[in-house]
Amino acid sequence: MPRLSLARLPTPVEPLTRLSAHLGVEVWIKRDDLTGFGLSGNKVRKLDFHLAAAREQGATGVLTTGGLQSNHCRATVLAARRLGLEAGVLLRGDLPPTADANLLLDQLAGAWIRTCTVEAYRDAREELLTAWAEELRSRGVVPYVIPEGGSDGLGALGFVAAARELAGQSELPFERVVVAVGSGGTLAGLALGGLHPQISGVAVCDDAPTFERRVREIAAQAGTLGSDPLPASGWEVVEGYQGPAYAVATPEIWQTITLVARLEGILLDPVYTGKAMHALVSETRAGRWGGPILFWHTGGAFGLFGRGREVVGL
């Protein structure tokens, strides 16, 4: 399968010695927050496959969709620009008077930005993207559409490769890999990649059955592209750490984010990695998870910006 190399790989695997001492369990980290700066995070691994396909098809513009502060949309916009392509994003919600964080970066890079209501996003985002692509075609643009989160069979191949990258990097007998789950492509790819430790995907919204279904769908698509079948065991979706809603973090999740920043100088975000790390911290403290554990850092640091009020007093 054609693949670009936008992501800076391999990302490092490092011990978190002070967090390990604090928890009494050995914890390591896979630094996919270091796949690039503007191109930071897990999404770039998927984009290496999607944008290779876009190039092969002669695309001159890329369309995708996500929340107003989507990391995936920001990474897609900047990756498209690195390749000299136009980029458009369909965002869920109303634009604020002034943009910050990921939305600011979308604007800086001159993305075409459209918004839709939460209901339209839930029920018709794919149709809206298809109609937008049609419109662009009539104006002479050759569009390539990437689904929400880059999470389809093709995107998941980025994480099949990531599982192999880890296998070649570390012979540590990890008991468990912990990773955030937002649209399922990362977990699907890691599960398909045949990682030996248990892979615990922490839901950041929705429930476990929804994501399990999503992982199976994505794996079936990846199967049509030649990947191995999804193993029946060895992966799971963990719920209970979603907080009140998508992108809303409890004070306890913020405490975990500050704990890791202060002990390790590692930045987590309140939408994805903060929730996944909170699961790791809570489950090890409760004695349910033992080590060594590998925390797969999926990026998302721009999600911290604009959230200062929630950190006051921690």
Q: Which residues are near ligand PLP by CB under 6 A? A: 41-42, 71-72, 149, 151, 180-187, 272-273, 298-300
CB of 22 to ligand PLP, least distance (A): 23
Which residues does 104 contact at the CB level (< 8 Å), separation at least 6? Answer: none
First to last CA, the chain: 47
Least Å distance, CB 88 to ligand PLP, is 19
- For 22, the 3-state DSSP assignment is helix
138 is catalytic: no
Residue 55 Cβ, how far from ligand PLP at the closest point, in Å?
22
Closest Cα to residue 198, out of 271, 270, 288? 288
Look at strands 27-31 and 198-203 and give their pairing. Answer: unpaired
Quick one: which of 237, 229, 235, 238 has its CA closest to 191? 235
**Which CB sits closer to ligand PLP, 30 or 72?**
72
Q: Which is nearer to ligand PLP, 136 or 267 (CB)?
A: 267
Among residues 70, 151, 183, 227, the one annotated as catalytic is: 70
CB of 307 to ligand PLP, least distance (A): 14
d(CA 28, CA 179): 12
Closest CA to 178 of 199, 195, 206: 199
Cβ at position 246, least distance to ligand PLP in Å: 10
Nearer to ligand PLP, 259 or 276 (CB): 276
d(CA 112, CA 88): 4
Angle between helix axes 153-169 and 43-56 (nearest 10 degrees) is 130
Distance CA 70, CA 65 (A): 8
Residue among 143 and 185 whose Cβ is closer to ligand PLP: 185
> Nearer to ligand PLP by C-beta: 184 or 291?
184
Rounded CA-CA distance 304/271 in Å is 9
- Provide Rg for the chain, Cα atoms: 19
Residue 244: DSSP 8-state: S
Residues in the chain: 314
- The answer to whether 197 and 171 have CB atoms below 8 angstroms apart is no
61 versus 182: smaller Cβ distance to ligand PLP: 182
Q: What's the farthest any 2 CA atoms get from each other in the chain?
A: 61
Smallest separation (angstroms) from ligand PLP to the CB of 181: 4
Q: Which residues are catalytic?
A: 70
